[in-house]
């Protein structure tokens, strides 16, 4: 099956179901999905690092550096009909008298709204960049990207079930119809696409590319880090590929060259290249892990809203 068809099926949550059906086997999911992590990496000539490594300690919390404040933000979801919780980072020196651009940062398949702050240490990265004037002051919203009533990360053996994967797709409507309007109503945001970014890691990278490239009216800055097979083909996402050459201020793709999911990002890179949509393609020497995500959120954040 051609990869783009496989990916489209996956997006519908069918790959696992079909595979299980074919084998007459037990519940769909795990084995097929996990096998993707172990795919052989085949590198092309342009699958290279385009940014130097950040300075040592770039993701370490440091004494003497002003820290942004992180708070829980509750909103009513028209999709799940529940009250949902996101984390919101307000930059050092935040003032309700000013207006800020907003970055939406999406977690991976086993994570939740705490993953970027806890595992990746994204707030430390931003605090340091802001202290050095190397990033624009911005509000960062870290939602739970699993739009279902019970949005807790499932037990490991249920991570890849169709209903859990579908919840990451259902987040598109939750984000656009409920979360973004609630954030814009509650914080002093610059509430237009030119001041709104979306990025994510792995499953969240796929979401960021799907929702960002699919909604240029909402996001002009889009980043997919180590994006997972939920990523849809560019030609499906870009309803007007010619217009897309001018709609985005930044499209940023990255992946580690030891990550078995790299074929997903390679495909997106090649599709965008062939469509003439300018983008960053940064391949580092990491696996599917926080080292890649911390470095790439550093490089991405430095380029945002500038």
Q: How far is the CB of 135 from ligand FER (least distance, A)?
A: 25
Question: Taking the complex as a whole, how short is the minimal distance between the CB of residue 261 and ligand FER, in angstroms?
Answer: 6
Q: Which stretch binds ligand FER (CB under 6 A): 29-37, 57-65, 86-94, 298-306?
A: 29-37
Q: Find out whether 108 and 156 touch, Cβ atoms under 8 Å.
A: no
Helical (H) or strand (E) element with 90: strand 83-90
Give the SS3 label for residue 166: helix
Measured between alpha carbons, how far is 128 from 292 in angstroms, rounded to an integer? 18
Task: List binders of ligand FER among 138-167 (CB under 6 A).
Answer: 165
- Identify residues 58-87 at the interface with ligand FER (CB under 6 A): none
| Interacting residues with ligand FER between 5 and 24 (CB under 6 A) | 10
Token couple for 205 = 């990278």
CA angle 237/292/223 to nearest 5° reads 25
Per CB under 6 A, contacts with ligand FER among 201-240 are: 202-203, 228-230
Distance CA 59, CA 120 (A): 8
- Beta-bridge partner residues of 103: 140, 197
Please state, in angstroms and as integers, the Cα–Cα distance from residue 295 to each residue in 116, 180, 285, following that order. 12, 26, 11
Shortest Cβ 230–ligand FER spacing (Å): 5
Q: Which stretch binds ligand FER (CB under 6 A): 30-38, 150-158, 173-181, 248-256?
A: 30-38
In order of 95, 181, 184, 256, the CA distances from 99 in angstroms are 8, 15, 10, 35
Centre a 10 Å sphere on the Cβ of residue 195 and count the other Cβ atoms it contains. 22
State the minimum distance, in angstroms, from the CB of residue 98 to ligand FER: 34
Under the criterion CB under 6 A, does residue 251 sit at the interface with ligand FER? no
Q: How far is the CB of 161 from ligand FER (least distance, A)?
A: 11
Q: Fill in the per-residue mask, 173 to 192: x = in contact with ligand FER (CB under 6 A), - = not in contact.
A: --------------------
Number of residues forming the site for ligand FER (CB under 6 A)? 12
Closest separation between CB of residue 229 and ligand FER, Å? 4
């Amino acid at each position: 099956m051609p990869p783009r068809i496989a990916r489209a099926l996956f997006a519908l949550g069918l790959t696992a179901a079909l595979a299980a059906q074919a084998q007459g086997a037990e519940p769909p999911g795990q084995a097929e999905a996990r096998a993707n992590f172990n795919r052989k990496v085949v590198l092309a000539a342009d699958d290279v690092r385009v940014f130097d490594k950040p300075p040592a300690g770039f993701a370490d919390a440091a004494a003497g550096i002003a820290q942004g404040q992180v708070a829980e933000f509750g909103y009513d979801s028209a999709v799940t009909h529940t009250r949902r919780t996101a984390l919101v980072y307000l930059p050092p020196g935040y003032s309700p008298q000013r207006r800020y651009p907003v970055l939406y940062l999406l977690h991976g398949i086993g994570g939740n709204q705490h993953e970027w702050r806890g595992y990746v240490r994204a707030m430390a990265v931003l605090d340091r960049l802001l202290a050095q004037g190397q990033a624009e002051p911005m509000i960062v919203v870290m939602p739970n990207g699993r739009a279902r009533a019970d949005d807790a990360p499932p037990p490991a053996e249920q991570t890849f079930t169709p209903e859990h994967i579908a919840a990451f797709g259902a987040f598109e409507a939750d984000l656009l119809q409920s979360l973004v309007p609630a954030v814009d109503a509650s914080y002093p945001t610059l509430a237009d696409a030119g001041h709104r970014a979306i990025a994510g890691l792995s499953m969240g990278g796929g979401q960021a590319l799907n929702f960002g490239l699919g909604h240029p009216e909402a996001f002009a800055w889009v980043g997919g880090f180590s994006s997972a097979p939920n990523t849809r083909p560019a030609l499906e996402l870009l309803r007007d590929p010619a217009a897309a050459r001018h709609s985005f201020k930044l499209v940023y793709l990255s992946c580690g060259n030891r990550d078995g999911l790299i074929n997903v990002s390679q495909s997106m890179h090649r599709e965008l290249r062939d469509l003439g949509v300018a983008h960053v393609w940064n391949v580092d020497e990491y696996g599917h892990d926080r080292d890649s995500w911390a470095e790439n959120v550093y490089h991405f954040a430095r380029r945002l809203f500038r």
